[in-house]
Amino acid sequence: MSYIEVGKENSTSVHLHYEDHGSGQPVVLIHGYPLSSASWEKQVPALLAAGHRVIAYDRRGFGKSSQPTTGYNYDTFADDLHHLITHLKLKDFTLVGFSMGGGEVARYIGKYGSKGVSKAVIIGGVPPYLLKTSDNPEGVDASVFGGIKQAVAADRYSFFTEFFKNFYNTDVNLGKRVSEQAVQASWNTAAIASATASLACVDTWHEDFRKDVAKIDVPTLVIHGDSDRIVPFASAGQRTAKLIPGAELVVIKDGPHNIAWTHADEVNPALTQFLAKPSVKGQKSAPKTRAVA
């Protein structure tokens, strides 16, 4: 079990917990809300078997990382990621972000550039901009995020119970693609997260990543479920793939938000096949889209 210090809150150090396994070209896994790096358990073995070094870390406030009351914004999240990459002296690495983690992928490249970055993968990610505004009519109405914040503030444990129903589309997938025990394990992970982080991160879901996405100049794979009830495909993945030159878009038929769990048999081959391709920056070809049943 390894930790890296990424800052301080008063007299207390802020540490990120991370796991570092295998060898070969590095892949950095960035989890979604309100989970931890443990949520990648179906991807880690596949990536190791494909010959990659796999690094997975817990975002501040979640999993085994520190739980400060500050720093819950994407500039800080990108800084935390940069600390980890620098500490591990990573080169020629791929960033893979799920949900909120997709925001880290975009903001990291937007803020630090793509030096050292070989490829990018965004799975069910929040970019490019989820908030509905006059210049972003495809977004989600602000009242939705306001209602989520109220529910988290009132009783986050009850909120998580309802949240995971739509996270996995349990009305369709329970007992088939996800078990009651797996949903409970996700709830348990959410329950030990910081109460401050659980609430503060809601505002980050509608961060404007359009300028960040425009700076992504490495081969990029976007994977999104077409039945995602948390981050709608039409508002997010579909648009992100169009904004990144040459991006590959894989649409998982009937996929909920956490396709990395429910549809690992579809996600893992798409991920490992993409990573096996040669990396050429500045691709200008048209987006490539394919559906996976």
Residue in 114, 228, 235, 263 annotated catalytic: 228
Q: Is the pLDDT of residue 288 over 70?
A: no
* 118 included as an active-site residue: no
- 146-156: pLDDT as tens digits: 999 999 999 99
- At residue 111, the pLDDT reads 98
- 228-281: pLDDT as tens digits: 999 999 999 999 999 999 999 999 999 999 999 999 999 999 999 999 998 766
Note the pTM of the prediction, 2 decimals.
0.95
CATH H-level, domain 2-292: superfamily: Alpha/Beta hydrolase fold, catalytic domain (3.40.50.1820)
* 141 included as an active-site residue: no
Looking at residues 45-74, what average pLDDT do you find? Answer: 98
Domain boundaries, the chain: 2-292
Nearest to 16 by CA among 49, 55, 51, 61: 61
Residue in 99, 118, 198, 235 annotated catalytic: 99
- At residue 287, the pLDDT reads 52
Looking at residues 40-67, what average pLDDT do you find? Answer: 98
Looking at residues 189-218, what average pLDDT do you find? Answer: 97
Looking at residues 283-290, what average pLDDT do you find? Answer: 56
278 Cβ contact partners less than 8 Å away, ≥ 6 residues apart: none
Looking at residues 28-39, what average pLDDT do you find? Answer: 98
- 61-111: pLDDT as tens digits: 999 999 999 999 999 999 999 999 999 999 999 999 999 999 999 999 999
- At residue 279, the pLDDT reads 76
Rounded to the nearest 10°, the torsion over CA 19, 22, 26, 32 is -40
* 83 included as an active-site residue: no
- 10-24: pLDDT as tens digits: 999 999 999 999 999
Q: CA 29, CA 96: separation in Å to the nearest integer?
A: 5
Give 68: exposed, middle or buried? Use CB within 10 Å, 0-12, 13-18, 19+: buried
3-state secondary structure the chain: CEEEEEEEECCEEEEEEEEEECCCCEEEEECCCCCCHHHHCCCHHHHHHCCCEEEEECCCCCCCCCCCCCCCCHHHHHHHHHHHHHHHCCCCEEEEEECHHHHHHHHHHHHHCCCCEEEEEEECCCCCCCECECCECCCECHHHHHHHHHHHHHHHHHHHHHHHHHHHCHHHHECCCECHHHHHHHHHHHHCCCHHHHHHHHHHCCCCCHHHHCCCCCCEEEEEECCCCCCCCCCCHHHHHHHCCCCEEEEECCCCCCHHHHCHHHHHHHHHHHHHCCCCCCCCCCCEEEEEC
63 Cβ contact partners less than 8 Å away, ≥ 6 residues apart: 17, 31, 35, 36, 37, 38, 189, 193
- At residue 278, the pLDDT reads 86
Q: Is the pLDDT of residue 45 over 90?
A: yes
Confidence band of 283 (pLDDT split at 50, 70, 90): low
